[in-house]
Amino acid sequence: MKSQENPSELYRVGLNTSRLLLACGDLVIGWLLLKQADVATAALAAGPNDRDKKFYASKLVTAKWFAQNRLPLITAERAVAEATSLEVMEIDEDLF
């Protein structure tokens, strides 16, 4: 919306594209792991054999680890994106 008043604000999008794509990737992976954890929880409640029990338990541990260690970084990435300055876009072309 800021770009309607100041077109150079569009540069913020370009400066944060990789950050946005990586954060979206983490979000999708978190969602898929949540779905797997939901299936694993139901399977564990049904009383699987010992081999399957270990498999489903590992799904829960993996989802928990990802949620605790990767998903919080999305908040940090958002803060960095919002604080991105346009200084790098204002470098004089003659300096290249």
Quick check: 41 pLDDT over 90?
Answer: yes
What global pTM score does this model have?
0.79
d(CA 77, CA 25): 13
d(CA 8, CA 88): 12
The DSSP result for 13-24, as a single string, is HHHTHHHHHHHH
CA angle 39, 40, 45 (to 5 degrees): 100
Which tens digits make up the pLDDT trace of 2-15? 777 877 888 888 99
